[in-house]
Amino acid sequence: MGKLDGKVALITGAGSGMGRSMAVLFAHEGAKVVAGEWNAESLAAVVDEIKAAGGEVTGVQGNVAVQAEAEGLVDRAMAAYGRLDILVNNAGVMDLNQGIGELSDAIWERVLGINLNGPMYITRRAVPHMVAQGGGAIVNIASVAGLSGATAGVAYTTSKHGLIGLTRSTAWIYAQKGIRCNAICPGGVETNIMASIDPTKMDPAGSARLQVFYNTMPGALKPIDIANLALYLVTDEARYINGQAIAADAGWMAT
């Protein structure tokens, strides 16, 4: 028996990196997976991988920054499986390491749209279904940038601080309804998130300032390390863990 037998799990950003590792792992553990991803090619690849391993998956292409598309992920999960037990808000993009004085409106709107508005739209749509069925588990993939101001530009940092606030509010307000909500705050992880920005447009002064802290990073994690932690948080083994922002960073935040 798998740890997630009979569960339905919606994972955003499921086409690559941490999201793909979570989708594959959750399906291996018996979950019916709804894989949300904006890139059609990446989406097809993870769907094929899960099906080839004997798992059950529904792929949905969409941009979580667009309200209708974000909410549509939850709607597809309910239409396909009739319930939603697990939500992982994983989709995210980087900024350009800009400080507030150099920040452009375009970067602010893009990063906040995907990293914070998207999880809000999806969680808002999912929670009433979870309440009606008696509970659920939500994991938001934040970042050490949600715990520190030294790891990214102002847009990304603000988005991840906000995501931790969304996590804690949701955990507190719905705890008595059987819903748990936690955040994982990864440090350096070997993913392709840097492909979400144009490296030639990175702010040189901001990057130089952040490099001071990057130099203290003790090491990079693998996507499966985050997937394993997420799996634990959505199982009954973690039934008393709620409202937490857990750093998974090889000790980086201990510096």
Domain CATH for 123: 3.40.50.720
Residue 225 belongs to a domain: yes
Q: What is the pLDDT of residue 70?
A: 98
> What pLDDT is attached to residue 14?
98
**pLDDT the model gives residue 191:** 83
The CA R_g of the chain, rounded to the nearest whole Å, is: 17
**Of all residues in the chain, what percent carry a pLDDT higher than 90?**
95
How confident is the model over 191-211, as pLDDT tens digits?
Answer: 877 777 788 899 999 999 999
Determine, yes or no, domain membership for 255: no
* Percent residues over pLDDT 70 in the chain: 100
pLDDT of residue 83: 98
Domain limits at 181?
8-246
81 catalytic per annotation: no
- pTM for the complete prediction? 0.96
How far is the first Cα of the chain from the last one, in angstroms, to the nearest whole number? 41
The average pLDDT across 72-100 equals 98
Within a domain: 139 = yes
Q: Is the pLDDT of residue 223 over 90?
A: yes
Residue 182 has pLDDT above 80, yes or no: yes
Q: Is residue 95 predicted with pLDDT exceeding 80?
A: yes
Angle between helices 17-28 and 223-234 (to 10 degrees): 50
Mean pLDDT of 52-68: 98
The length of the chain, given as a count of residues: 255
Query: Which sign, positive or negative, has the C-alpha torsion 158, 164, 168, 173?
Result: positive
CA 139 to CA 134: how far, in whole Å? 17
Q: Which of 81, 156, 214, 232 is catalytic?
A: 156
User: pLDDT at position 137, please?
Assistant: 98
Domain count, the chain: 1
Q: Is the pLDDT of residue 255 over 90?
A: no
53 has a pLDDT exceeding 80: yes
Q: What is the mean pLDDT of the chain?
A: 96
Is residue 213 a contact partner of residue 144, using CB atoms and an 8 Å limit?
no
In a domain, 188, yes or no: yes
pLDDT at residue 38 in the model: 96
Judge whether 1 lies within some domain. no
Return the closest-CA partner of residue 103 out of 153, 167, 158, 40.
153
Q: 10 Å Cβ neighbour count for 35?
A: 29
Q: Kindly tell me if the per-residue pLDDT of 1 is higher than 90.
A: no
